[in-house]
Structure 1
């Protein structure tokens, strides 16, 4: 039996910080459309609220096969920078919003 562990924190209206055993991610949006930024890539989910009908697409996935014999190089994508920026903005908002 597999177990999943996840905790979500509301950082600001429409922005959530998600923590799981696989890492951190940030969700932006709400009912209807949500964008999730994580190390796996950017996932966009759209739905018709109240119907259970939804669709999602993962962009920037790093599932490409590694066929070269050289050492892989790490190249952070735009999603990594945006995720870092959103986390910093959320922390600053939480500190100064009183």
Structure 2
């Protein structure tokens, strides 16, 4: 049987400190959206609809750590690969805007 530990402390209205058995992390953002940095420096951005269970999260990889991919020009009938991040960024944007509207009104 594995034991786990997690404690979240609200430092300010949009700032939370999380302490777990794996380390410490800080989260900035309103309910439903946020930017998280953990003790090892990994960064995540996430958004969701509070109370619905719908949530999306993505790790932010610094440019210096990304693999360099060589892009080949499409020929004739080939189309460029679709971007899979549009939905994630749309949800994050909506959650951030909703959180800001909620805080202001």
Calculate the TM-score normalised by the size of structure 1. 0.54
Distance 1:60 1:4, change over 3 A: farther
Which structure 1 residue ranges, 5 or more long, are not aligned? Answer: 65-98
Q: What is aligned with 1:54?
A: 55
Structure 2, gaps ≥5 residues long? 66-105
Runs of 4+ in 1 over 4 A off after TM superposition: none
What is the root-mean-square deviation in Å for CA atoms of aligned residues? 2.0
Richer in strand (by share): 1
Matched, 1:16 2:20: no
CA distance in 2, matches of 1:5, 1:40: 20
Q: Once the 2 structures are TM-superposed, how far is the Cα of residue 36 of structure 1 from its aligned partner?
A: 1.1
Q: Supply the distance in 1 between the matched residues of 2:11 and 2:45 (Cα, whole angstroms).
A: 19
Larger radius of gyration: 2
The two structures have a TM-score, normalised by structure 2, of: 0.51
Counterpart in the other structure of 1:85: none
